[in-house]
Amino acid sequence: MSTTKIINRCQALFDDLDFTAVGDWKAADSTRKVIGFMPVYVPREIIHAGGMLPVGILGGGDQLEVIHGDAYYQSYICRIPRSTIELGVTGRLDFVDGLLFPSICDVIRNLSGMWKLMFPDVYVRYFDVPQNYDDEIGGNYYVNELQELRSGLENVAGRAITDDDIRRSVAVYNENRRLIRDLYAFRVRSPWKAPSSEVYLLLRAGMVLPVEEHNQMLVDYLAAAESQDRAMRDNCRIVLQGSFCEQPPLNLIKSIELAGCYIVDDDFMLVNRWLFDDIPLDGDPIANLAAAFLHGSRETAAKYQPDGALKGKYLVESVRDNAAEGVIFAAPSFCDPALLDRPMLAKAMTKHNIPYISFKYAENSGQMQPIREQAGTFADSIKLWSDA
Amino acid sequence: MSADKTPIEVVKEPSMLKQKAMIAENYRKLTGAPETGRKVVSTYVPGNLNELIMCFDMVNNLPEINAIQNGMRQKSRGMIMEAEKMGHSEDVCTYVKADIGMMAKGNIAPNGEPLPAPDLLLLSYTGCFTFMKWFELLRDEYGCETVMLQVPYEGDGKVTENMRNFVVKQLKEEVIPTFERISGVKFDIDRLRENLRRSAAAEDDLVWVLQSAKNRPSPIDAYFGGVFYIGPIFTAFRGTDDAVEYYRLLRQEIEARIANGQGPITPEGDMGSEKYRLVVEGPPNWTSFRDFWKMFYDEGAVVVASTYTKVGGVYDFGFRHDPDHPLESLADYCLGCYTNRNLPQRVEMIENYMSEYEADGFLINSIKSCNSFSAGQLLIMREIEDRTGKPAAFVESDLVDPRYFSKANIKNRLESYFQMIDQKRQGAAAA
């Protein structure tokens, strides 16, 4: 299968604001249930173990006309909650039997309560995670939270979710994470063969497809991309940082690439790469999920870094490990976590002599010319004046 | 015009003088710490563990209070702009930027003396995501030790055993040992019990004062006046004899106002006749606090209940600090703070206030800086209108950024709102 064919399929899924693929999946069996989740991380394994489909709800992008959603928010609040409400009140999320709101910021947190008020028949859970990474303290708390989540999902599924169910799902998601690690590694090696706009669409497809189907799609894409001959450009290599919640318009990613930057690492849809390593298949699966979160998960603005000396280290390492030449901080307007974190990360970049630029976007930003100019100038400056 | 320029002689009651002296004394302790050797801890108002801090003889510094002080003294604008020049986004919380800008400008306390760097940052992560980033930023500036107390959010509208146990465990195994190490003082749980006993006594009187607004006329303004009433209990004084004495004095003053049939005291004396009884959601604006308040009392509008006065602890539904269950009680206090409650709980609380305090309307002052409060407020407004049938209104401002306080705009909206309440009354009378 060609990359074009695969990406066309991903693009169609991305463009479909009615989630037809999810509706079709659900319609195939009257007992099927769908659990939506918002950024940045939920343990999809438990949803999958209950025979349900986890679906990423990532806002409405730049193609959704937000009419109702704006009536729920002041002008100084980001776009993703208002387009999510738009999706809800226009019936586009009627297929959702439950919706999880991870602990990421006050806006998403409060949206969980709004959903309870507006959609009382939907299972709604604010999914809290520990900011304390001690097994006996934050770990115990998180294990119990996971058990509560499991219990709530059992009610939705109408059946028990056993440890063996979870182990089987962990195996499937381990495979998904491995393939996505492979995809990212491939892009690092040959970014001209895996443009970030394609990588992004592949990740988005994973937000709505059953994981088994997504795994096959990733296998097919990697094989096709490897064998495809594409022209290598004289681009600089950058890490894109700050886009972990409200999504950038696809055109923004394309614009950065067209401006002369290969994106070699990013924080898109971190749920795919939240856990670094495979989760063990033996032992207590809930304890394993908790341990993976505590000791083997990514750093992002929504997580507390207990050691001030390590603040920003992950981004410095990403630049080094991926042979990047600079960082583009691209955060949504009014995104508290990303924008509050940025000065500390920028300081770490300065300390390590890593060039960076910053800009803001909204999911419905339409004007890309300033982004192209800024990214193009950044790329030129790296090419012309970088020490490397 | 000339009348506006005449300096207003502010009426000072004994409780006001008492509070002023308490605040001055705390700033004296803070700025004098380098000489006295007292250790300083910085922490936040919601989830403020003052009783515990006192067990280690440490002095409590609250960055939000510094920002408020700077806002009311018209100093926050320059501080915020300083922080923005340093790279902090115009989109984020102005308390944070006022704090960072204050540091950049020498960290001068309201008494004119420099505040020392804290020995410890107690990150009480309660009801506000920004707190976590704020203390990471402060740690980056000060380079001092930080201890985190994560308080889980009441996503399902209740406190579970898991949540309570998590907080207690953090207190036992991380917060208290850190305090012991930094202060050199061994933890004494009986000392904590005594502090909590004093807290509960003060809380009884505070609740009595807040609930006095059920009277007609209300003897207090529970928002603009309320921010002064909550001052000691939300900050560095809960658990002290001073706080007990402050609330005893305040209660006596309010009892006298009720006996005399008086309304609230304002910066310009007694308010006069009560025309509108309101419930208000959201923090006040601090940079134009007097102007904002005047828009209400000039129209005879009194706030009979507010949610902001619950941000540092919700006491009027029965919770008290409990010396018999000291750590569990601290956990329940943190878990129950207003912005740690989910939106359905907040709506229920406001609906209760509307009914219990016989309010004529509901007003939201939506704060640009504070997503913890603000995200969802337009839905809260709809819910309250639907459930009570009372008119609601919405104004926008900011905490300490004067660039976001539009006096004429807010005044126009409020005047229209009061007319709407009048029309609603006339309609009800005609029916």
Tell me the per-residue pLDDT of B277-309, one tens digit each, with 9 for 90 and over.
999 999 999 999 999 999 999 999 999 999 999
Average pLDDT of chain B is 95
**CB B371 to CB A107 under 8 A?**
yes
Contacts of A333 in chain B (CB under 8 A): 91
Q: Which residue's structure tokens are 């934050």?
A: A138
Task: Compute and round to an integer the Cα radius of gyration of chain B.
Answer: 21
Contacts of A81 in chain B (CB under 8 A): 375
Nearest residue to A302 via CA among A107, A135, A141? A107
| Sign of the C-alpha dihedral computed for residues A87, A91, A96 and A99 taken in this order | positive
Contacts of B141 in chain A (CB under 8 A): none
Q: What is the pLDDT of residues B337-362, one digit of tens each?
A: 999 999 999 999 999 999 999 999 99
Q: What is the pLDDT of residues A79-99, one digit of tens each?
A: 999 999 999 999 999 999 999
- Give the model's pLDDT for residue A384: 87
Q: What is the pLDDT of residues B237-246, one digit of tens each?
A: 999 999 999 9
**CB A346 to CB B87 under 8 A?**
yes
- Give the model's pLDDT for residue A388: 52
Q: What is the DSSP letter of A365?
A: -
**CB A131 to CB B170 under 8 A?**
no
Q: What is the pLDDT of residues B153-173, one digit of tens each?
A: 999 999 999 999 999 999 999
Model confidence at B80: pLDDT above 60: yes
* Polymer length of chain B: 431
CA distance A132 to chain B (A): 7
CA distance B102 to chain A (A): 17
Reduced to 3 states, what is the DSSP secondary structure of residue B277?
strand
Contacts within 8 Å (CB) and 24+ apart, A383-388: A383/A234, A383/A236, A383/A260, A386/A236, A386/A325, A386/A355, A387/A353, A388/A325
Q: What is the pLDDT of residues A180-210, one digit of tens each?
A: 999 999 999 999 999 999 999 999 999 999 9
CA nearest B124 in A: which residue?
A131
Model confidence at B1: pLDDT above 70: no
- Specify which residues B265 forms β-bridges with: B270
- Give the model's pLDDT for residue B429: 81
Contacts of A305 in chain B (CB under 8 A): 136
- Give the model's pLDDT for residue B11: 65
Contacts of A72 in chain B (CB under 8 A): 376, 378-379
| Cα separation, B396 vs B410, whole angstroms | 8
- Give the model's pLDDT for residue A216: 98
**Which residues fall within 8 angstroms of residue B43, CB to CB, at 6 or more apart?**
B49, B53, B60, B61, B62, B121, B122, B123, B124
| Cα separation, B208 vs B316, whole angstroms | 9
Structure tokens at B264: 């609230």
pLDDT band with cut points at 50, 70 and 90 for residue A268: very high
Does the N-terminal peptide bond of residue B168 adopt cis geometry, omega within 30 degrees of 0? Answer: no
Query: Can you list the positions of beta strands (E) in A179-274?
Result: 236-241, 261-265
pLDDT band with cut points at 50, 70 and 90 for residue B4: very low
pLDDT band with cut points at 50, 70 and 90 for residue B400: very high
CA distance A350 to chain B (A): 13
Nearest Cβ partner of A107 from B150, B153, B375? B375
Structure tokens at A81: 């909650």
**CB A74 to CB B343 under 8 A?**
no
Reduced to 3 states, what is the DSSP secondary structure of residue B356?
helix
Nearest Cβ partner of B91 from A148, A334, A346? A334
- What are the residue boundaries of the structural domains of chain A, listed by start? 25-159
**CB B133 to CB A342 under 8 A?**
no
Amino acid at A31: T
Model confidence at B73: pLDDT above 60: yes
Tell me the DSSP string of B1-35: -HHHHSPP-----HHHHHHHHHHHHHHHHHHTHHH
Model confidence at B7: pLDDT above 60: no
CA distance B328 to chain A (A): 16
| Cα separation, B48 vs B313, whole angstroms | 9
- Give the model's pLDDT for residue B430: 82
**Strand pairing class (A261-265; A326-332):** unpaired
| Cα separation, A25 vs B373, whole angstroms | 39
Region of A163 please: left (phi>0), alpha (psi -120 to 50) or beta: alpha
CA distance B85 to chain A (A): 11
Helices and strands in chain A, H and E counts = 14, 8
| Cα separation, B123 vs A387, whole angstroms | 40
Contact criterion met (CB below 8 Å) for A250 and A203: no
Nearest Cβ partner of A128 from B86, B140, B152? B152
Q: In the predicted model, what is the mean pLDDT of residues B132-139? A: 95
**CB B170 to CB A132 under 8 A?**
yes
User: Could you give the C-alpha distances from B299 to A219, A322, A375, B214, B413, in angstroms and in order?
Assistant: 70, 64, 54, 20, 13
Q: What is the DSSP letter of A121?
A: T
Q: What is the pLDDT of residues B169-220, one digit of tens each?
A: 999 999 999 999 999 999 999 999 999 999 999 999 999 999 999 999 999 9
Q: Which residue's structure tokens are 């710490």?
A: B33
Mutate to test the interface with A, among B97, B146, B162, B399 (most CBs of A within 10 A): B162
- Give the model's pLDDT for residue B9: 58
| Sign of the C-alpha dihedral computed for residues B177, B179, B181 and B185 taken in this order | negative
**CB B140 to CB A347 under 8 A?**
yes
> What angle, 0 to 180 degrees and rounded to 10, lies between the N-to-C axes of helices A196-205 and A211-227?
160
The interface predicted TM-score of the complex, written ipTM, equals: 0.96
Contacts of A85 in chain B (CB under 8 A): none
- Give the model's pLDDT for residue A386: 75
**CB A340 to CB B146 under 8 A?**
no
The fold of A25-159 is Rossmann fold (3.40.50)
Mutate to test the interface with B, among A72, A137, A294, A340 (most CBs of B within 10 A): A340
| Cα separation, A99 vs A96, whole angstroms | 7
| Cα separation, B430 vs A81, whole angstroms | 42
Model confidence at A30: pLDDT above 80: yes
Contact criterion met (CB below 8 Å) for B372 and B46: no
Task: Compute and round to an integer the Cα radius of gyration of chain A.
Answer: 20
* Edge-to-edge strand list for the sheet holding A34-37: A53-56, A34-37, A98-102, A123-127
| Sign of the C-alpha dihedral computed for residues A109, A110, A115 and A116 taken in this order | positive
| Cα separation, A87 vs A55, whole angstroms | 14
Structure tokens at A9: 């399929």
Contact criterion met (CB below 8 Å) for A72 and A114: yes
CB atoms closer than 10 angstroms to residue A233: 13
CA distance A72 to chain B (A): 5
- Give the model's pLDDT for residue B431: 75
User: Could you give the C-alpha distances from B96 to A65, A325, A339, B91, B399, in angstroms and in order?
Assistant: 34, 32, 12, 11, 11
Contacts of A337 in chain B (CB under 8 A): 129, 133
Burial class (CB in 10 A: 0-12, 13-18, 19+), A214: buried
Contact criterion met (CB below 8 Å) for A300 and A275: no
Contacts of A308 in chain B (CB under 8 A): 136, 139-140, 143, 146
Count CB pairs under 8 A between chains A and B.
Answer: 165
Contacts of A311 in chain B (CB under 8 A): 136, 140
Q: Return phi, psi of residue A69, to 5°.
A: -60, -35
Mutate to test the interface with B, among A119, A142, A336, A349 (most CBs of B within 10 A): A336
- What are the residue boundaries of the structural domains of chain B, listed by start? 8-430
Give the CB-side neighbour count of residue B309, counting CA atoms within 13 A: 29
Nearest Cβ partner of A81 from B88, B148, B375? B375
Model confidence at B2: pLDDT above 70: no
**How many Å separate Cα A211 from the centre of its chain?**
15
Model confidence at B53: pLDDT above 70: yes
Nearest Cβ partner of A106 from B155, B344, B375? B375
Nearest Cβ partner of B170 from A117, A137, A339? A137
Contact criterion met (CB below 8 Å) for A117 and B342: no
CA distance A336 to chain B (A): 6
Start-to-end CA span in chain B (Å): 42
CA nearest B398 in A: which residue?
A76
Contact criterion met (CB below 8 Å) for A34 and A23: no
| Cα separation, B258 vs B278, whole angstroms | 19
- Give the model's pLDDT for residue A53: 98
**Strand pairing class (A123-127; A98-102):** parallel
Mutate to test the interface with B, among A99, A104, A132 (most CBs of B within 10 A): A132
**CB A105 to CB B371 under 8 A?**
yes
CA distance A121 to chain B (A): 14
Contact criterion met (CB below 8 Å) for B134 and B49: no
Q: What is the pLDDT of residues A307-359, one digit of tens each?
A: 999 999 999 999 999 999 999 999 999 999 999 999 999 999 999 999 999 99
Amino acid at A279: I
pLDDT band with cut points at 50, 70 and 90 for residue B10: low
- Percent of residues, chain B, with pLDDT higher than 90: 94
Structure tokens at A127: 């999914």
| Cα separation, B331 vs B348, whole angstroms | 22
Structure tokens at A319: 């630049």
| Cα separation, A284 vs B217, whole angstroms | 62
Q: Which residue's structure tokens are 């706030």?
A: B303
pLDDT band with cut points at 50, 70 and 90 for residue B8: low
